[in-house]
Amino acid sequence: MRDLQLPIYLDHSATTPVDKRVVEAMLPFFTEGFGNAASRNHPFGWKAEEGVDYAREQVARLINANPKEIIFTSGATEGDNLGIKGVFEMYARKGNHIITCVTEHKAVLDTCKALEKKGAEVTYLPVNGDGTINLEELKAAFTDKTILVCLMFANNEVGIVHPIKEIAEMTHQHKALFMTDGTQAVGKIPVDVMEMGIDIMAFTAHKMYGPKGVGALYVRRKNPRVKVTAQLDGGGHERGMRSGTLNVPGIVGFGAACEIAQQEMEAEAKRLAALRDKLETSLLQIEESVVNGNVDSRLPHVSNISFKFVEGEGLMMGFNQEIGVSSGSACTSASLEPSYVLKAMGLDDELAHSSIRFSLGRSTTEAQIDYTIEKVTKAVNKMRDLSPLWEMHLEGIDISTIEWADH
């Protein structure tokens, strides 16, 4: 393992490094093609606009959309806000009911919470123990006031993939629009908005080896023609849906990232799934370890594993100088709350706190996975050696029945 470079990055669901080919595509637009894409009177603006138009085609091609259906944004959070708030305002006459799910990204949940203050009725569907939703419960949630169903394509913490086509069909039977947050899926697995019946989809460049600060909202133009009200007012850029000077270098990079993903995604998914399976199989050799989420319908590069009787944050300290992963516990500045996604799946606080998400990417090698297996195994065993709870477990004591004395 001498050629192994440390630290190892296994947090690709958080962000990805920008592909060198993407950087190359972007560079000229900082210095030569620096014009404003909305300056239509001279070659500087034309060159910038040309770069944006080409990128719009590249982005659209990856998801099988029409370039005119791509609205450039600053990222998926803005896209989620624009899609959900834009539909709520545009279709207010038809109804005020939105259906979503408790394990959505905060960009969806917090947007829905904000709309509840403005009169929206929101149904938050629960999830099964493996993170999937019950389609019967979805069916029962529709009312004659339902205007939007917003369910993510793939979950960012456990990697499960929802049955998007079935959900879209059900949504359309009830004359509502279907929106998905495609952030974790686009560029990793096939996403076809036409075939799957997606009406609106937010996604972003930095999860697929593009730059940060640029994303897109797909808004369907035909069958049905979808409209969203603008959330940023100004010069009426992006067909009036999103004003603001376009981030030309970012958009060009986003386009290049989409084209590369389209060419390499299939082979890369196979490679990463094999490495992910190797990592999982080895780490599950550790006593009392368990994979969280549905293992039959999930992203190829993500694995979320709980190691019982070990605290995830503490565990990571054992190797975080060498391996970058994320804990199932979302760190908020004031407290260490266990992941709301894992809690919604029925994990207790202890188990939710003991989980780690490994997300692999283009730079991940087999040597890195071998090193990670060795390091994580050592760290888990070391922490358990120090844990009185582990000792009690080995003695056959059911820890959940213990009543702890108050001091």
Q: Are 43 and 32 in contact (CB under 8 A)?
A: no
pLDDT at 22 over 60: yes
What does the pLDDT average to over 209-222?
A: 98
Q: Active site residue: 101, 150, 258, 331, which one?
A: 331
Q: Which token pair is 123?
A: 């149904």
pLDDT category of residue 135 using cuts at 50, 70 and 90: very high
Q: What pLDDT is attached to residue 334?
A: 43
Element holding 341 (H helix, E strand): helix 340-344
Terminal-residue alpha carbon distance, the chain: 50
Q: Which 3 state secondary structure label does DSSP give 179?
A: strand
**Residue whose C-alpha is closest to residue 137's, from 147, 150, 148, 124:** 124
What gap in Å lies between CA 87 and CA 224, rounded to an integer? 13
pLDDT category of residue 225 using cuts at 50, 70 and 90: very high
The β-bridge relationship of strands 97-101 and 121-125 is parallel
Q: What pLDDT is attached to residue 405?
A: 64
pLDDT category of residue 328 using cuts at 50, 70 and 90: low
**Residue whose C-alpha is closest to residue 337's, from 322, 352, 323, 326:** 352
Element holding 266 (H helix, E strand): helix 248-283
pLDDT category of residue 192 using cuts at 50, 70 and 90: very high
What gap in Å lies between CA 329 and CA 313, rounded to an integer? 8
Fold category of 8-13+265-393 in CATH = Aspartate Aminotransferase, domain 1 (3.90.1150)
**344-361 pLDDT tens trace:** 999 998 899 899 999 999
Q: Which token pair is 114?
A: 């904000």
Options 3.90.1530.10, 3.90.79.10, 3.40.50.10150, 3.40.640.10; CATH for 20-261 is: 3.40.640.10
What gap in Å lies between CA 338 and CA 348, rounded to an integer? 9
Q: Which token pair is 272?
A: 């990463």
In percent, the amount of the chain with pLDDT more than 70 equals 96
DSSP conformational letter for 67: G
Q: Are 76 and 153 in contact (CB under 8 A)?
A: no
Contacts of 11 (CB under 8 A, 6+ apart): 324, 325, 326, 357, 359
Tell me the domain boundaries of the chain. Answer: 8-13+265-393, 20-261
Q: 258 an active-site residue? A: no
What does the pLDDT average to over 101-111?
A: 97
- pTM for the whole thing? 0.95
